[in-house]
Structure 1
Amino acid sequence: MSKSILLVEDDAAIATVVRAALESDGFEVTCCASIEARDRNLKVSQFAVMLTDVMLEDGDGIESLPRVCQRYPDMPIIILSAQNTLDTAVRATETGAFEYFPKPFDLDDLTRAVSQAVGAGAQAETVERDAGDGLPLVGRSAAMQAVYRMITRVLRNDLTVLILGESGTGKELVAEAIHQLGQRKTGPFVPVNSAAIPSDLIESELFGHEKGAFTGAVSQAIGKFEQANGGTLFLDEIGDMPLEAQTRLLRALQSGRIRRVGGRQEIAIDVRIVAATNRDLKPMIASGAFREDLFYRLNVVPIQMPPLRDRAEDIGPLARHFLKLATDEGLPARQLSDDAVAKLSQQPWRGNVRELRNAIYRLALLARDDVIDASVTDEILEYVGDDVATASGSGFGSALSNWLSDTTPSHGSVYHRALHAFEKPLFEWALTQTDGNQLRAASLLGINRNTLRKKLDDLSIAPDDFSRHG
């Protein structure tokens, strides 16, 4: 089998390093730096694998790849790119690339992929992409590159995907991207938040019910499985699903059939399952709170979402992206100064991307000037509670003392002002952690739901602002 490799790379340093690595593994490497030179080499020589950069001297190296794939269908193509976005990863995969490597890449991983491509010698099927497909994920960090590559691996198949990660990291956005860019994109995308549905209604929500199946079932209802037929069913917060519902879900996944609550007829369903959770399911399995067989049924392709603190280099692009969205939604047009981005990048963002989004919208609304600097972020965002306590280095009590020392005494008002200053971020934190779900937020805080609702009204906090779609 031929071990001749064509390397199309206009960065001489990268070309030299890659060539040396491949030749040390016994490959014969031909280098060129442009699309024109690539085409000349392909006409006169036969190559086992082609490696190509995206942005070359004379154009976009991806745009002409469908033509290359058509002319040389048995030559796997590996794409190398510094344009590290989900759009690039998807374009690379959809044009028929065997593999995609964002720069910088590990040379051992690259040479291993080249060996696999030579052994495979297979053509990757080209997937057409609608021009209007949205790509909602933002970030070029190494952690997000791993996510993008996993997404591209599941676009041409219907394997079940389990998305893991903290609340607010963008798990639903990944599920939407898998649906929008995959082979079921013409079908429905139906999300179900297991934590937001009362335990006694979740089976009816998933599988539907017949008229008279239970008190209040005055008519037949179609469940989420049937609504998602031909498309994707997104089971969010799967770790919060009651055990009895887990059993019925497992049966549906195993058989590909469901039965409405109170019904006798089994209904065939054709859905792709994407599930997500912010909980560690393994301890739940050990304690009997989550079915082990359901876990293995869902955990076919796991995708781990990184917390925002592990991708601080993405905070600036994300913040500017959210500012643009805020402007598109009617808020004043703003810009972030470099020192404001640096300040934002230093924050822990325990609510992850969702917390950052809410903060940017607040800045867009309340900032007095078109350019937001670091002093404005401090003034408007008011990092209080755990964040300020950490910054002050001496705990919550010290943070309160610092707040009081900066407060001008006003007869009869300090107590209520202090409560307002420290309660508001506490309730916002609880809503952030629970995706705006008031029942779960009340449980997290250890108060009843009515008390929570009254506090939210008093503090002018809108729970919808903290929901996944808020």
Structure 2
Amino acid sequence: MSRGTILIADDDGAIRTVLDQALGRAGYEVRATANAATLWRWIGDGQGDLVITDVVMPDENGLDLLPRIRKMRPEIPIIVMSAQSTIMTAIKAAERGAYEYLPKPFDLKELINVVQRALTDNEHVMPGGTYMDEGEESLPVIGRSPAMQEIYRTLARLMQRDLTVMISGESGTGKELVARALHDYGKRRNGPFVAINMAAIPRDLIESELFGHEKGAFTGAINRKPGHFELAEGGTLFLDEIGDMSGDAQSRLLRVLQQGEYNTVGGRTPIKTDVRIIAATNQDLRQQIGRGLFREDLFYRLNVVPMRLPPLRERTEDVPDLVRHFLGRAEAFGLPAKRLSREALATLRDYDWPGNVRELENLIQRLVVLYPEEVIEKTVVETEIRPTAIAREGAGLVGNGTVSGDNISASMELHLARYFQAHGNNLPPDGLYDRVLREVERPLIQLCLAATRGNQIKAAQLLGLNRNTLRKKIRELDIQVVRGLN
């Protein structure tokens, strides 16, 4: 006895054959076609219990067919397959009513499980939203690796669901970009997106920043100040580096999540709140819980939907796509068009990217601005990434674990000599002094913060800077501060 009829539309004959055989063995009746027109005729005839459709077909885009199928047959679940494998494809499929999105190549066992679930699920479609026809270039979440495909599928499922999300990942993996995508393509897209970095705020001011304060609530509170919860009303509040919250602030945040209301600092009247919370961390919060540094009950309130963003070293096959994206964006801003040689791209793929996507983006910006060549060669790329690799090895902490001032000077001289050589008979662009200082300043501050385990007071003393000056530079240079870690 048949478990149901599956309608398949895909112009790839091999895909149709594989699906026909696999679903047939699983007990389903299968009808397959190479075009959208035949699929639409079957739908109009009332055939089929479930649809599996490709996106790109000779006569029509499968995504354009989705709204018509939903209008005529709202009860039939639709599974979308695509070899395009981009976040925009996943989002379009979700917004137009697909039950599930599967990137090609797909796992047959997973496909059969999705089919079984779709035919027994009472909710046959992802809740549809207002379709936003954005170009792929507007979305900074880039990559076709299996790890990113899973991220896209999760994002697609979450677009029209107002769930709390916990994003984990190393610094530079794009946690805020994912949070913005969830907001910009979700139910709250017309509301504000408000981000707050817990690591950049003194712990004694976190509650005031989150909930606001009344006039006279504490010394210096000259006027009433709205908090981030109030600013994000009706939208999304992104709590970055959530692990840096103090115990008191964690308790107050937990009460807000439990009761849906909060008090400003110095205020007595509870304020109702309607915000979606997206949290992010580069720490192991379960480890923090074990050390008594993070509340377990708050963790479970925030960790409704966990998302782990992989470091770039785990998806180096995405490096060429990311490079093209960053080069294209630079050109859109009026900078010279550039491309990287095959050998240069191979060098970037072999690098382990401790700073992840942010480090790659910064590198591409330097290559575009500092080098006149239209085609960037391997030697230029090596010139740029070698000092970073040297700095990461402990600023020369190899062998006996020490480095002299002469060695630092020699390394800088070598780097600058190669930089001048890369320009041949031409001089580098003007403003070299400030550019070099900035390139030295960032790793210097990062290493001092690492040496002091994120203690900004000690790091400022080590650098010989005023603490406020250091905090300003941390913001300007977009340096992530991690406390309590070596």
TM value normalised by structure 1: 0.87
Given the alignment, which residue of 386, 395, 409 partners 1:417?
Answer: 409
Alignment partner of 1:300 out of 299, 304, 307: 304
User: Is the 8 Å Cα contact of residues 322 and 357 (structure 1) preserved in structure 2?
Assistant: yes
Counterpart in the other structure of 1:186: 190
Deviations 1:341-400 (A, max 9, x none): 11111101001001111111111111131111111111233344458869xxx9835999
Q: In structure 1, what is the equivalent of residue 110 of structure 2?
A: 109
State the shift of 1:324 in Å.
2.0
The 1-side partners of 2:386 and 2:108 are apart by 45
Q: Which amino acid aligns with 2:9?
A: V
Alignment of structure 1 residues 358-397 onto 2, 5 Å: 358-386=362-390, 396-397=398-399
Q: What's the counterpart of residue 202 of structure 2?
A: 198
- 8 Å contact from structure 2 (residues 391, 443) kept in 1: no
Change (3 A) 1:395 1:442: closer
In structure 2, the partner of 1:129 is: 131
Name the CA distance, whole Å, in 2 between partners of 1:463 and 1:226: 24
The residue correspondences of 1:36-435 to structure 2 (distance < 5 A) are 36-120=37-121, 122-124=123-125, 125-132=127-134, 134-386=138-390, 396-397=398-399, 414=406, 417-418=409-410, 420=412, 428-429=442-443
Spell out, residue by residue over 1:3-46, the C-alpha distance to the aligned partner (whole angstroms, 9 max, x if none). 00101111111111111111111000000010112122223342
Instruction: Classify the secondary structure of the residue corresponding to 1:448.
Output: helix
Q: Given that residues 358 and 465 in structure 1 are in contact (C-alpha distance below 8 angstroms), is that contact kept between their aligned partners in structure 2?
A: no
Q: Please, which runs of 5 or more residues in structure 2 have no aligned partner?
A: 416-436, 481-486
Residue pair 1:10, 1:32 contacting (<8 A) in 2 also:
yes
Partner of 2:15: 14
Query: How far apart are residue 63 of structure 1 and its match?
Result: 1.2
For 1:128, the aligned partner's letter is T
- Counterpart-to-counterpart distance in 2, 1:389 and 1:224: 39
User: Is the CA contact 1:389–1:399 (under 8 Å) kept in the aligned structure 2?
Assistant: no
Secondary structure of residue in 2 paired with 1:63: helix
Unaligned runs of 5+ in 1: 405-412
Q: Contact 2:250–2:298 at 8 Å: present in 1 too?
A: yes
Note closer, same or farther for the CA distance 1:440–1:251 as it changes in structure 2 (3 Å cut): farther
Amino acid of the structure 2 residue aligned with 1:418: A
TM-score, scaled relative to structure 2: 0.85
Could you say if the C-alpha distance between residues 440 and 212 of structure 1 is closer, same or farther in structure 2, counting changes exceeding 3 Å?
A: farther
2:460 to 449, 453, 457: 449
Contact 1:351 1:429 in 2 (8 A): no
Percent identity over the alignment is 46
Determine the C-alpha separation between the residues in 1 that align with 2:149 and 2:445.
29
Structure 1 residue 463, shift from structure 2 partner: 6.1
Q: Match of 2:108, as an amino acid?
A: L
> Which residue is equivalent to 1:408?
none
| Alpha-carbon spacing, 1:362–1:450, altered in 2? closer, same or farther (3 Å) | farther
Report the CA distance shift for 1:128/1:292 in structure 2 as closer, same or farther (over 3 A).
Answer: same
Query: How far apart are the structure 2 equivalents of 1:351 and 1:416?
Result: 22
Cα distance in structure 1, aligned partners of 2:341 and 2:150: 29
Alpha carbons of 1:194 and 1:31: their partners in 2 closer, same or farther (altered >3 Å)? same
- Paired positions, count: 447
Q: Tell me the SS of whatever aligns to 2:255.
A: helix
Aligned residues: CA RMSD: 3.0
Q: Report the Cα distance in structure 2 between the residues aligned to 1:44 and 1:252, rounded to whole angstroms.
A: 52
In structure 1, how many angstroms separate the alpha carbons of the residues matched to 2:455 and 2:205?
25
Q: Distance in 2 between matches of 1:201 and 1:320?
A: 41
Stretch deviating more after TM superposition (199-208 or 330-339): 330-339
Q: Is the 8 A contact 2:217 2:265 kept in 1?
A: yes
Distance 2:440 2:144 in 1: 32
How far residue 320 of structure 1 moved from its aligned partner, in angstroms, is 1.6
